A = this chain, B = another copy of it.
């Protein structure tokens, strides 16, 4: 879910929902934006888990601070807790399938600066392997069916294949750069 991006952004500075959403849209570029329909429920879950808490906003009224009942115009500012910081570190250091798919990889890369170089390399290699497999799968499927496809389906599949191949090359560069100049960890 939105665990990593929310915790990651709150690690930089306390923030309210609206601002989180704006930052999320630009942060991930290719990896789409998220709607309020997922943002606010996520914040609630993170609150319940204790990873974040609510900072007293200057204008906030006392009494009746339940989720959804707010007397004055409440700007709800969220902040990362100590447990949340630990949890975020654990999530970012996670290697395995989750870290290699589109969303898992994208969100982790966006917060790579907060990880050790060793972990960064493992995630990059895992993602590269995943994308290589995907590209090879598309390539062989295309080779098998090429002559049966109409012009448009063919264009669609070739474009998809080239996109995958390009990502593999990009990852290769990232890996080489990482090996040559291993930035210090967080």
List residues of A whose CB falls within 8 A of some B CB.
Answer: 26-31, 106, 109-110, 112-113, 138, 141, 145, 150-153, 155-157, 159-161, 163-164, 166-167, 170, 174, 183
A-B contact pairs, 30 of them (CB 8 A): A26-B141, A26-B145, A27-B153, A28-B156, A28-B160, A29-B138, A29-B156, A29-B159, A30-B156, A30-B163, A30-B164, A106-B156, A109-B152, A109-B155, A110-B152, A110-B153, A110-B156, A112-B150, A112-B152, A112-B153, A113-B150, A113-B151, A113-B152, A113-B153, A151-B183, A155-B174, A159-B167, A159-B170, A163-B163, A163-B166
* Contacts A151-B183, A155-B174, A174-B155 given; does A160 touch B113 at CB 8 Å: no
Docked-complex contact A161 and B109, CB < 8 angstroms = no
Measured between alpha carbons, how far is A141 from B23 in the docked complex, in Å?
Answer: 11
Q: How far is the CB of A180 from chain B (nearest CB, A)?
A: 13
Measured between alpha carbons, how far is A167 from B158 in the docked complex, in Å?
Answer: 12
Measured between alpha carbons, how far is A153 from B157 in the docked complex, in Å?
Answer: 29
Residues of B within 8 A of A170 (CB): 155, 159
Residue of A30, A145, A151, A155 contacting most chain B CB atoms (<10 Å)? A30
Q: How far is the CB of A128 from chain B (nearest CB, A)?
A: 13
